[in-house]
Chains A and B, each alone.
Chain A
Amino acid sequence: MHVKLRIIPTLKLLAQENRYIVGVAVCVSLINGILPFVIILGNSEILNSLMQASYQQVWQQLGLTYAIYILGQVAVNVGQRYLDVQMVNVDERLKLRLRRSWMMVDFEQLETDDFFAQMNQSETSFRYSGGFAVFMQQLNQTIQSVTSLSVGIGVTVTLIVLGINQSKLMALLSIASLGLILFGEWLGLIWYRRLTVQNLKIFRILMKQERVLNYFLLEVINRYEIIKSIKLNQFTTVIMKHYREQWATSQKTNEAYIGNQFQSRVVTTVMTGLPISVLVALLIVKIRLKILKIGSLNNLFGSLVQVAASSTALVTAYQNLERFEQQTEFIHHQLLKPNVLKKKQRVTAGRVITFENVSFRYASGKLALNHVNLVLPIQGTTAIIGENGSGKTTLVKLLLGLYHPTSGRVTLDGVDIQALNREDYLKLFSPVFQDYAVFDFSLKENMIANHVEDPAMLDTLLRRWQLRPWIQKLPKQLETIVGSYSSENFQPSGGQKQQIALVRGGYQAGKLALLDEPTASLDPLKELTTFQNIKRFSLQQPTIFITHRLGAAKIADRVLLMKSGQLIADGTPEELKQVSPEFRTLWAAQARIYR
């Protein structure tokens, strides 16, 4: 059946994290499904014995029935304990796997809107569905309900069929009852199926709408550092207006969803009421004809109560399962992707990076680089300058292999970088971008990231980029955890963050340092020292830096001037001053202040 096929991937995922959990869950559910019938059948026997007034038998049966029942409950208790703890474990581990898979995604795919939409959607789904723990609950409920349902139906059918061969009338009545019930149930199932389809549709729409509401929460309301500017600029009205529109739409969908869910329950009621009404009449006839004993009444009622309860539970559980499967489509896709590692060439040395007629166009159609040809030996200092939007950062991203050229290629010592082992290639660089992130980890972790700790190197870098003074003032120094969720509540200033990013880049100990606007947030003193350091260490640490500070370009050995995605000037600072009018304009715009 449709759902069964899709439950299998989820079960596979669960089994990957914990071998026993599915087995334990199935056992617990089966026992839970059967236990009520122990009581029902036991009680019926007791009733029959009572009618015969054989009291010794009565007490024996009472003892036996309830002893089995208690044993069963003990088993369920033990199993459930295990499940309750392990499901949290499995659930969290699967969530972690999912989040890790986000972190591993290819950079180019990362920047697409589609990927981010999926990521957001899976987080919303997790929140709304309750995660794998709830899946397990629903699965348990389903197995339990199906078990109860089967046993209950079995008992009921037995009651119908008993005595069918006694007389033609009996046979006719029994078959007619069965036929009537089956027909009614079939109609009910159709109605129910239609409701389920509607339910899934509404839910899909609901998830989309909840995602948008989530945007307002995540992007705007929960970005605490932004709220001050929203208050000052009184953006509240605009934001609330858009929010309320979304909210009103979502409200209607929610109501439709609730209505649908209760409709399903009405269907179940009708589908239970029909057999009960028919069967109870049939049973009366059979009792009158002495085909059945009084005890069977208890069997009938008990079983039908169970059947009713199980159907209601099954209906809800089934819908939840289908829904869960729908939401976790993306999760399955991510987690069950086969690991295909293409064999790539290892990088041993690195001398020259070449851009061979490279062009790059964004997915939106915007052309960022236009037939750029460039030979970059990994040595000395190179400055990349140009107006905003001229393609400087794109150039660096292509250099790092974060983007793939739309045409042309980037090579290292003649080999296309796409064919090289990505890890090796990235290790060549120490990059520091403009929009560096400082995470809510310790300062040390923010700087060392994944590398082995080397106190000497760390110390050198802390001194070079001048962090020592303020780190020493912190009570926990390098172990201070950044961010408002730690007790220290340490929020580094803009400049301090830039310094952290510089140390992080340097710690990577790549052959080539790539700095994108490394001093944008630094004061003049630190700015001067930064560029002096870049110059001083240029022998050990070749550097490429992007900057608007044309004065800094002066210290470089080589300057690349970009405009509208093209490289329009390439040479030493003196050469450019003489040859390029664009360079002179940019220079004058800043330098005139200091005359």
Chain B
Amino acid sequence: MMETFRNWKSVFRLFVMTIKKLVVFGLWLGDIGCSTLFLTLFTLLPAIIIRLTTSSLSTWIIAIFIGGMAAVAYGLAGLDTQIQSHLAKKTFLFRYQYLPKFAQDIFQWPQETLDSVEGKTLIDQGYEAIYNGGNTGLEAILNRTFDFSRNLVQGMALLFIMGWANIGSVIWLLGLNALALLLQRWRNNWFIKHKPERNRINTQVSNLVRTLMQRQNGKDIRLFHFDSVFTKYFQRFIRQLVDWQRKYVRISANVNGIQVMLNTLGIVGALGWLIFTKSNVDVIITFMVAIQAFNGRLIALFQDLTEIGRNQVYVADLEKFLAVADQQKHSGKKQVAAIERITFDRVSYSVNETEVIHDVSFSIGKGETVAIVGENGAGKTTLIKLMCGLYQPTQGEIRVNNQPLRELDMADYWRRVAVEFQDDILLHVTVSENVSGKPLASTDSKRVVWALRQSGLANLSPDTIIGNELDPKGISLSGGQQQSLLFARVLYRKAEIVIFDEPTAALDPLAEQNFYDKFMATFNNQLNVLISHRLGSTLRANQILVMQAGRIVQQGNHQMLVKQKGLYQKLWLAQKQLYQGKE
């Protein structure tokens, strides 16, 4: 209960901070005022009719007067609906402004959090809090709060009317309904406790569905009949979801049943008491109408509380999500003037107690090209991620010039590093924006054209939009063209550190040659790092780091390493054999 209230308070406080308080307060008062007035008029109407019809006034006057009263009451109801419409728009706007913030925050997260299961779950749950329209999440809490306040005041007005007629019945009614409310709390608590379990299942289902919806997976699914494996997993999740629902319904339906009983008992008791004490007919009829309306309010109140209870978990989820981005603001603040050297000093890196990089030391200076080679899974990409500052070493230190990397301002550092990873993507925007990474207004279009030409894409117009399934007018590029465009991106950057992870995997021999020529010609003053299986790329490197199982096992230049007995020589001879010798 405390948890619910705390979460509710958070949301409400945030809401109040973003709105024009006077306007919303006025609307709220109007809503409550109109609706309560309407209900009161309506409830008292039968009693008034009875009094008037048993009096001596003219029939026509009474009829017109009463008819008029009813019309006024409904006019109020209409006005109330208009007011509610404005309130609904305000709550919507509140929720909606979180959408871009959500997107922006994710980009600031540390890489390790993004890679972890907890991180991904936080993202999914934060998404649920704000992307599900007005029925779930933040907006629902606020809408229900307004509903609740309206129903509460209306309920109290009805209670007052009934109590003024006969206080005993009202006390009986209230007592039983209080019991029913307690049961409600019990059910809500169960839901809150068990929701994470259902969340987990749904996250996994979403993940599979996302996989299905990715175009490049379609081939393999059909060629290998993966549909049956997908089905198996989906069916397993269905069973889990239905089991969860069964447990929930058992509790929910029992609580519901008892609540109905209590409610009915309340009505019967109240009416019985009135009859027993021989009250006036107009009192009884007022009571009958009031009880019906009161019942309706109670049910609505219960529903409001349930919904608020159900949705308040999203507040906690969202807060956890937002907290992660806040933590990030405490990164380093220093900036270096010009990047002269990067040093790895006995760096180790572990993931989940498994050491992936072990005791690595090397140094790269400005103007040098370093090639990293090694077998698959040796840790080359991880080394790059450490160099970029995406990961922090678990032991040892990485220094830029002589500053530890962890103390630097990452935003500034990343502006000066250009990386091309194996799994980079192009975005559904213009070619120019894909190359520059900036909005068109801040893009140097001449430089874009130069970069495109240098990468062999002179025929690609910078204004074309890269297509995807949302925009059939966009173009689609072949694998090689995509890789060339990514190269253009690096060329555009004017970075001080340039890193390539397998830049020619998809390129044909001529394009590959073009790449190496351009690479050697363009990047003279930077620190260049190249990961490649194509040992041809290592020929002109100043330094080659040979990695195996997370360690650097050999270091030197090509002429030196090719003569040493070791992994490099083995790799070289294997590749050479394909071109020259016999098998």
Contact = CB atoms under 8 A, between A and B. Distances in A.
A528 interface: yes
A457 interface: no
A189 interface: no
Given A441-B233, A484-B117, A128 B207 contact: no
Interface in A255-269: 255, 258-259, 261-263, 265-266, 269
B425 A84 contact: no
B163 interface: no
Given A247-B100, A551-B578, A551-B579, 10 more contacts: A62-B275, A96-B234, A217-B103, A233-B437, A237-B438, A258-B89, A269-B74, A297-B50, A555-B578, A591-B579
A22 interface: no
Contacts of A450: 224-229
B114 interface: yes
A266 B419 CA distance: 59
B132 A548 contact: no
A217 B124 CA distance: 11
A284 to B, nearest CB: 5
Interface in B226-240: 226-231, 233-235, 237-238
28 contacts: A43-B271, A50-B281, A73-B257, A88-B245, A96-B235, A123-B209, A221-B106, A228-B388, A229-B419, A229-B424, A232-B418, A237-B442, A238-B439, A294-B285, A426-B223, A435-B479, A437-B217, A445-B229, A483-B207, A493-B377, A494-B423, A525-B571, A527-B533, A527-B574, A527-B575, A528-B578, A548-B509, A591-B580
Contacts of B221: 103, 437
Contacts of A55: 275
Contacts of B555: none
Contacts of A216: 103
A590 B116 CA distance: 41
Nearest to B421: A229
A388 interface: yes
B281 A526 contact: no
Interface string A415-436: 0000000000010010101111
B50 A528 contact: no
Contacts of B135: 130
B53 A287 contact: yes
A544 B583 CA distance: 19
Contacts of B230: 99-100, 103, 439
A19 interface: no
A197 interface: no
Contact of A594 (B52, B219, B513, B575): B575
A449 B226 contact: yes
Given A229-B421, A240-B103, A234 B415 contact: yes
Interface stretch (A109-117, A145-153, A321-329, A369-377): A109-117
Nearest to B248: A84
A198 interface: no
Contact of B78 (A269, A298, A431, A433): A269
Given A259-B89, A297-B46, A227 B106 contact: yes
A523 B374 contact: yes
B511 A484 contact: no
A305 B507 contact: no
User: Which of the four size classes fits the interface of chain B?
Assistant: 35 or more
User: Which of the four size classes fits the interface of chain A?
Assistant: 35 or more
B292 A237 contact: no
B81 A127 contact: no
Contacts of A223: 425
A165 interface: no
B531 to A, nearest CB: 10
Contacts of A228: 111, 114, 385, 388, 390, 421
Interface in A210-249: 211-213, 215-244, 247
B218 A233 contact: no
A356 interface: no
A258 to B, nearest CB: 5
B221 to A, nearest CB: 6
A262 B85 contact: yes
Interface string B560-583: 000000000011101111111001
Most chain B CB neighbours (cut-off 10 Å) among A524, A535, A551, A589:
A524
Contacts of B50: 294, 297
A594 B242 contact: no
Contacts of B511: 387-388
Contact of A389 (B207, B222, B480, B513): B480
A186 interface: no
B536 A590 contact: yes
Interface stretch (B2-10, B12-20, B392-400, B426-434): B426-434
Main secondary structure of the interface of A (DSSP, over half): helix
Contact of B219 (A102, A262, A402): A402
A40 B213 CA distance: 54
B78 A273 contact: yes
A325 to B, nearest CB: 18
Report, nearest first, the 5 A-B pairs whose CB atoms are least far apart.
A273-B74, A495-B376, A551-B578, A388-B480, A262-B85
Contacts of B337: none
Interface in A499-546: 499, 504, 508, 517, 520-528, 531-532, 535
B289 interface: yes
B438 A238 contact: yes
Nearest to B128: A127
B458 interface: no
Interface in A356-414: 364, 386-389, 400, 402
B71 A84 contact: no
B419 A233 contact: yes
A266 B132 contact: no
B480 A437 contact: no
Contacts of A99: 209, 212, 230, 234
Contacts of A549: 578
A520 B532 CA distance: 10
A523 B375 contact: yes
Contacts of B571: 523-525
A1 interface: no
Contacts of A102: 212-213
Nearest to B207: A485
Contact of B579 (A262, A274, A435, A554): A554
Nearest to B228: A450
Interface in A63-114: 66, 69-70, 73-74, 77, 80-81, 84-85, 88-89, 92-93, 96, 99-100, 102-104, 107, 110-111, 113-114
